[in-house]
Amino acid sequence: MKIQAKLFVAVTSALTSLVHSDPLRPGVRVPPRSYSRCTNTLPCLTVINTAECRPQPSCDPEAKYRTIDGSCSNLEHPSWGQAGTPFTRLLPAHYEDGKSQLRQSVTGRPLPNERLLSTTFFPDRNVPDTVNTLNVILWGQLIAHDFSHIQFPRPGSPSCCTQDNQLPPPESESPGCYPMEIHPNDYFYSQFNVTCLGIYRAFPVDSGTCHASPIEQINNLTHVIDASMVYGSDLKTAYRLRSFIDGKLIVQTTPDGRNFPPNTDKPFFPCNNDASEHTCYDAGDDRVNQNSGLTVLQIALLRLHNYLCDKLMVINPQWNDETLYHESRRILDAFINHVLYKHLLPIMLGEQYMHEKGLLVDNCCTCCINYHNPDINPSTITEFAGAAYRTFHSLIPRVIALVSSDYEAESFVRFDDTYFKPSFLQNAGVVDKCMRGFANQPQQTQDHFFTQAVTNLLFKFNKPWGFDLETLDLHRSLDLGLPTYNDMRQHCGLTRAKQFSDFVDVMSEESIKKLESTYVSVEDVHLYLGGVLEELIPDTLVGPTFQCIIGQQFYQYMRGDRFYYENCGLPWSFTRDQLNEIYKMSVAWMFCVTGDDIQTIQYETFQKPSKKNPIGSCNQILAPDFSPWKE
């Protein structure tokens, strides 16, 4: 198959696609049946009702450890948060026919072309953040790969466009395709005579009776924040990654002793290696090789798991492989949640909002609080995964800096040159240079400017052009049946707009004029576009509507998941002393203990070094004491 066809399929899969089904849990995965040849409608025969085919999990109420597939995260609702279950919604699904047809304008005509929207509203402009580092967006993506992976056709499926990247005739369209028309005068694609970008629709699942209810989409990952990108969301994946020796995960080791994830000869997404390169990593999430920033963090988490095994084995030599694996996984899970809720989300949502929402509680050395509410569903919200959280694509830079031990940028790698090319990371010193770069290079400012690395060159492989992530982000609003921007802003407490000028409460005059010249009605505006165009709330990375959606999601993750790391006084809880040690953990500490030779770094790696956040010795970075785990 030609590389263009592989590109089209990989793009629509790589950001939000399926993981391997779990043969030990039948019914998890939607069978890949054919769609109708009508690209906007999905016939009833293509969907299944998971409530009918999936038995409720049986839970041990005293179990200390999470299940791999996320089941039993809520004892009263055992399937909430489980891999292979549908996303939830804040508002009802919005399809043109009430079932599956892509939404159209209130006039009954098609909505504006998403590529046209992308080029109109999302130009490329280099505006570095003055405070926050590249580590913010990279950790943001890492966390995204813990909670969302929508099922699409796998790479290798027929392309949605012709082999020469033109629109196919209607009678030859591949099932489930949405061929995106590109204008012949497109400022970028016209250079290459590309008039079609192929987008696949997500595999649907029936939300109720087959002929009456709108379709939903399946999450192939666990919904809860549980480090599934490291360990997997099904037993087959989890077992494949384990060494079954001293609790550790499998690694490949270089001649000089550096550890990396194991290679796979059957990657879900093919790596873009040169003929002499054979590196293509395996991990709990099959997007591990997507870009070098993400890959380095996955390498660090793998190394951290094995580091934890070593620490626990010293103080508990009687522990067997199974105990060491689960205890290390449990600590790594807590570490990720700690970084997320105490360090990352306050930057994204604002500390004041976090406190008001009950998402940020000051560390208490003696308190014992159980935050769990069994009536709250910790499953991932479609409006969150399909729109609000994707706004942070604006933070992606054009290049990644490789920074030396004296904190000078030695070289730069173009972001679009790192897609599915992990081989160079195994060169001596590169992982450390990346880590220092993540903690020092500014991310882009959160705005409506997006680098061409994602708007024109996404997953370009060896061609001079690639896909447009923002076209895909906009199209997801329709494919997933998301509400309109006007519906969602009203849900989040803003006044419903009757005319475009009513958006002035959250948007600039320039943005409003562009919307008015592009859309027929305020009722047509895509949720994603409206949210991105909102002016940021001070000291946050979001406007009011996306703050509302993202805040609600992480509230549900925190309160609906009984294994949330700060829950106290339960059979599976950490002790007070153990929790106090987890509070000492930081990304800086992780870089120090998992880098090859990281000697210095600043404590808060999400913010640039400064007088208040100076670069110092790793020996001065607060580190946990594991003696509270001694039995």
> What's the CA gap between 524 and 103, in Å, rounded?
9
Q: Residue 13 pLDDT > 60, yes or no?
A: no
Could you tell me how many residues make up the chain? 631
Nearest to 223 by CA among 114, 84, 64, 422: 84
Instruction: Return the bridge partners of 215, or none.
Output: 206
Q: Residue 473 pLDDT > 60, yes or no?
A: yes
Amino acid (one-letter) located at 611 = K
Tokens of 85: 């279950």
Q: Name the residues annotated as catalytic.
A: 145
Output the pLDDT for position 12: 39
> What's the CA gap between 553 and 381, in Å, rounded?
7
> What's the CA gap between 591 and 300, in Å, rounded?
7
Element (H, E) at 399: strand 399-403
Interior/surface letters 109-138, b for 16+ CB within 10 angstroms, e for the rest: eebbbbbbbbbebbeeeeeebeebbbbbbb
Query: Tell me, what DSSP letter sits at residue 166?
Result: -
Q: Which residue has the tokens 């967006």?
A: 137
Tokens of 347: 């930057």
Q: Which residue has the tokens 């130009």?
A: 123
98: left (phi over 0), alpha (psi -120 to 50) or beta: left
Q: What is the pTM of this model?
A: 0.91
Output the pLDDT for position 389: 98
Over the stretch 85-140, which tens digit does the pLDDT of each residue have? 999 999 999 999 999 999 999 999 999 999 999 999 999 999 999 999 999 999 99
Please tell me whether residue 330 adopts helix, strand or coil conformation: helix
Tokens of 351: 């500390």
> What's the CA gap between 378 and 381, in Å, rounded?
9
Interior/surface letters 67-91, b for 16+ CB within 10 angstroms, e for the rest: bbbbbbbbeebbbbbbbbbbbbbbb
Q: Residue 47 pLDDT > 60, yes or no?
A: no
> What's the CA gap between 39 and 100, in Å, rounded?
10
> What's the CA gap between 432 and 438, in Å, rounded?
10
Output the pLDDT for position 155: 60
Over the stretch 221-244, which tens digit does the pLDDT of each residue have? 999 999 999 999 999 999 999 999
If you average pLDDT over residues 171-182, what whole number do you get?
84
Over the stretch 318-338, which tens digit does the pLDDT of each residue have? 999 999 999 999 999 999 999
- When pLDDT is cut at 50, 70 and 90, the band that residue 152 belongs to is confident
Residue 393 annotated as lining a ligand binding site? yes
Domains assigned to the chain: 3-629 (1.10.640.10)
Output the pLDDT for position 551: 98
How many CB atoms are located within 10 Å of the residue 253 CB?
A: 9
Output the pLDDT for position 277: 78
Interior/surface letters 488-498, b for 16+ CB within 10 angstroms, e for the rest: bbbbbebeebe
Over the stretch 475-523, which tens digit does the pLDDT of each residue have? 999 999 999 999 999 999 999 999 999 999 999 999 999 999 999 999 9
- When pLDDT is cut at 50, 70 and 90, the band that residue 8 belongs to is very low
Please tell me whether residue 357 adopts helix, strand or coil conformation: helix
If you average pLDDT over residues 25-43, what whole number do you get?
30
